[in-house]
Chains A and B, each alone.
Chain A
Amino acid sequence: MTSIGTGYDLSASTYSPDGRIFQVEYANKAVENSGTAIGLKVKDGVVLAVEKLVHSKLLVPGVNRRIHTVDKHIGLASAGLLADSRHLANRSRDEAVNYRETMHSPPQLKSVAERVGLYLQAYTLYSSVRPFGVSTILGGVDKNGPQLFVLEPSGTYHGYHGAAVGKGRQLAKTELEKLQLADLTMREAVMQAARIIYLVHEDAKEKEFELEMSWIGEETGNKHVPVPEDLLKEAETQAKAALEDFE
């Protein structure tokens, strides 16, 4: 960030001379400070996983969830400012409900992604607001099968087979690329997701974290629900074992 202090970074409504909007880039910095979130689109569904850094031992386990439910069949995992992501989840729910009301059918993911993308983008236009400090993974199953989208602070969104946002996204992406995502089952994806989250956490070993996972697919009746306790435990055990082998 060579141009710091040149005065073009004070407002989202001002470009720098080389055509950048620094406030948006700073928003991405906020995302990078956050624990990793990943999404896997596989044969029969979608799995979302989050490395939730626990900043205090006094916190009750399971609080400050970073995976939200948008609609019955849509989940949202985010990296960045938690308060921003909660607001975005609420907005996503409103968009999903609005789609249901007008179209009389469950919303397609791409429509929700597009609408939320437009919403994010509006926060890159004005000097009076700041862009959202979150990158969001939208995952779900609609009439076209499993879907996975990533929305960034700029408002751009893309569809993916596997997605990673947050601090450990680079390592997570290389791990995801090694997988044959389209051939995995959701159960296999749960194991892989847990392994990847544990792997990327190695860099911040001193910090405690909770693994948060949800899935949507045939096995859950196409409903976005948390991965059941016993399966989560099993995935964590396997992830830890894999880590030891790795070292």
Chain B
Amino acid sequence: MDHFPTNWGRPRNDAFDAYGTYPIAQHPRNAVDVFADGVQRTQQPIVTGTSVLAIKYKDGIMMAADNLASYGSLARFKDVQRLHPVGDYTVIGAGGDMSDFQYIQQMLEELVTEEFASQDGHTLGPVEIHEYMSHVMYARRSKINPLWNSLVIGGFKNGKSFLSYVDLLGTTYTASTIATGYGSMIAQPLLRKAVEGNETTLTEEEALKIIESSMRVLFYRDARSINKFQVATITEKGATISESRHLETSWSFAEGIRGYGSQTQ
């Protein structure tokens, strides 16, 4: 993530200041694209979901995402499920364009159905779903027609837990903590601090606490989030996605912040 807002949405300019030595205020803007007026945007996310968080813990994977789908800065749909079960062993969580995500859900449903109908004794686990999605996402980016999502894939099969990430560029990785979008800046450090090295000892209660506190911080800081989210756990017992949970938050402290509430002086 580039922390210089002026550069957001622009390609990085490594020819100039490769090591990012400029202070923020003086940071040079990359050259203006002279063809900008002639560019037609044929792809951009429209109705979007924000961060997805996921961690490994003792029994498997815990994943969370709030229920908001935004239309720009408008909180458009406030009861959207962004965690989706795939087969019996996997949950896929999505940020980014929600219509693309619905397309992905449908595609995976067909895949799983086809696999079930073959009755060959094989079932798709999280590893297979990850591989499949990475190929779909990479193929679409290679057609310059991406599915505009960050996907988190969590699962548990044959005694092994699995947690991975795939995005619109086809970039993939596995890790014991994953946070997408805004969460990669705000929540990921919190998750790493709490989880790294403790993957095999964290209990479900502890994991839930970590997830909940991270979701709370995200709600306070991410303007595209709401305090209503779902938590998925994927363990030996299978995948469960909770009902929507509400976070109790307090904004009274805001009164004391200069420039926020009504100030006399």
Instruction: Please give the distance in Å from B239's CB to the nearest CB on chain A.
Output: 14
* Contact A93–B117 (Cβ < 8 Å): yes
The B175-209 residues at the A interface (CB cut-off 8 A) are none
Does A71 touch B at the CB level, under 8 Å? yes
Query: Do the beta carbons of A100 and B119 come within 8 Å of each other?
Result: no
A70 on interface, CB distance cutoff 8 Å? yes
By the criterion CB–CB under 8 Å, are A69 and B110 in contact?
A: no
Q: Is the CB of A104 within 8 A of B106?
A: yes
How far apart are A227's CB and chain B's nearest CB, in angstroms?
13
Write out the residue numbers on chain A whose beta carbons fall within 8 Å of the beta carbon of B116: 69, 72, 223
B83-119 vs A: 1/0 string, CB under 8 Å?
Answer: 0000000000000000000000010011001101111
| CB neighbours of B110 from chain A (8 A) | 97, 100-101
* A73-130 at interface with B (beta carbon < 8 Å): 93, 96-97, 100-101, 104
A66 within 8 A of B: no
Structural contact, A97 and B106, CB atoms closer than 8 A: no
Residues of chain B within 8 A (CB-CB) of A72 are: 113, 116-117
Evaluate contact between A97 and B119: CB separation under 8 angstroms.
no
The verdict on A68 contacting chain B, using a C-beta distance below 8 Å, is yes
| A68 and B113 alpha carbons, distance in the complex (Å) | 13
Bound state CA distance, A72 and B118, in angstroms? 10
Q: Mark B114-133, 1 if CB is under 8 A from A, else 0.
A: 10111100000000000000
B113 / chain A contacts, CB cutoff of 8 Å: 71-72, 96-97, 100
Asked whether B114 lies within 8 Å of A68 as measured between CB atoms, the reply is no
Q: Which of A70, A104, A226 interacts with B117 by CB under 8 Å?
A: A70
* CB-based contact B114/A69 at 8 Å: no
A213 to B106 CA separation, bound complex (whole angstroms): 31
The answer on a CB contact under 8 Å between B117 and A71 is: yes
Q: Which residue of B lies closest to A106 (CB)?
A: B113
CB of B119 within 8 A of CB of A93, answer no
In the assembly, what is the distance between CA of A96 and CA of B109, in Å? 12
Task: Flag if B106 contacts A69 (CB, 8 Å).
Answer: no
CA distance A226 to B116 in the complex (A): 12
Chain B residues closer than 8 Å to A71, beta-carbon distance = 113, 117
| B119 and A69 contact, CB distance less than 8 A | yes
Could you tell me which B residues sit within 8 Å of A by CB distance?
106, 109-110, 113-114, 116-119
Q: A69-B118, A93-B114, A223-B116 known; 16 other A-B pairs, CB under 8 Å?
A: A65-B119, A68-B117, A68-B119, A69-B119, A71-B117, A72-B113, A72-B116, A96-B117, A97-B110, A97-B114, A100-B109, A100-B110, A100-B113, A101-B106, A104-B106, A226-B119
Which 8 residue pairs across A and B have the least CB separation, nearest first? A69-B117, A69-B119, A93-B117, A72-B116, A72-B113, A97-B110, A71-B113, A70-B117
Q: What are 11 inter-chain pairs, A to B, with CB distance below 8 A?
A: A68-B117, A71-B117, A72-B116, A93-B114, A93-B117, A96-B113, A97-B110, A97-B113, A100-B109, A101-B110, A104-B106
